[in-house]
Amino acid sequence: MRPALFRTRITELLGIRHPILAGGMGPKVSDARYVAAVVNAGGMGFIVGAGYSDPVEFRAQLVQCRELTEGKPFGVNFYISRQEGGVDRVKRQIDIVIEEGVACVETAGASPEAVVPLLKQAGIKVLHKVPAVRYALSAAKLGVDGVIIVGNDCGGHPGIYGISSMVQAAHAAQVIDLPIVIGGGIGSGRQLAAVLAMGADAVLMGTRMLVSEELWIHRAAKELVVRGDGTESVVVKKAIRDHHRVFRNASAEAALALDDAKVTDFEQYRPHVMGALAHQAYVSGDTSTGMLDYGPAAVFADTVESAEAIFDRFIDDARAADDRLGSLRAAA
Ligand X SMILES: Cc1cc2nc3c(=O)[nH]c(=O)nc-3n(C[C@H](O)[C@H](O)[C@H](O)COP(=O)(O)O)c2cc1C
SS3 state of residue 248:
coil
Per CB under 6 A, 295 contacts ligand X: yes
Residues 74-93 that bind ligand X (CB under 6 A): 77, 79
SS3 state of residue 77:
strand
| Shortest Å, Cβ 68 to ligand X | 20
| Shortest Å, Cβ 24 to ligand X | 5
Per CB under 6 A, 49 contacts ligand X: no
DSSP 8-state assignment for residue 305? B
Sequential DSSP letters for 174-234: HH--S-EEEESS--SHHHHHHHHHTT--EEEESGGGGGBTT--S-HHHHHHHHH--STTEE
Per CB under 6 A, 232 contacts ligand X: no
Per CB under 6 A, 310 contacts ligand X: no
CB neighbour class for 261 (10 Å; exposed up to 12, middle 13-18, buried from 19): exposed
**C-beta separation of 10 from 20 below 8 A:** no
Dist. CA 9–CA 15, nearest whole Å: 10
| Shortest Å, Cβ 111 to ligand X | 14
Dist. CA 104–CA 245, nearest whole Å: 26
Identity of the residue, 40 or 77, whose beta carbon is nearer to ligand X in the bound complex: 77
Per CB under 6 A, 193 contacts ligand X: no
| Shortest Å, Cβ 181 to ligand X | 10
Give the distance between the most distant pair of CA atoms in the chain. 64
List the x/- string, 144-173, binding to ligand X by CB under 6 A.
Answer: ------x--xxxx-----------------
Rg of the chain over CA atoms, in angstroms? 19
- Binder among 8, 13, 17, 24 for ligand X (CB under 6 A): 24
Number of residues engaging ligand X in binding (CB under 6 A): 28
Identity of the residue, 43 or 295, whose beta carbon is nearer to ligand X in the bound complex: 295
- Binder among 8, 61, 93, 207 for ligand X (CB under 6 A): 207
| Shortest Å, Cβ 330 to ligand X | 34
Q: Which of 91, 209, 110 is nearest to 159 (CA)?
A: 110
Task: Kindly report the backbone phi and psi dihedral angles of residue 221, in degrees, each rounded to the nearest multiple of 5, phi listed first.
Answer: -70, -35
Identity of the residue, 90 or 256, whose beta carbon is nearer to ligand X in the bound complex: 90
| Shortest Å, Cβ 188 to ligand X | 11
Q: Could you list the residues that contact ligand X (CB under 6 A)?
A: 23-26, 29, 48, 77, 79, 108, 129, 150, 153-156, 183-186, 204-208, 210, 293, 295, 297
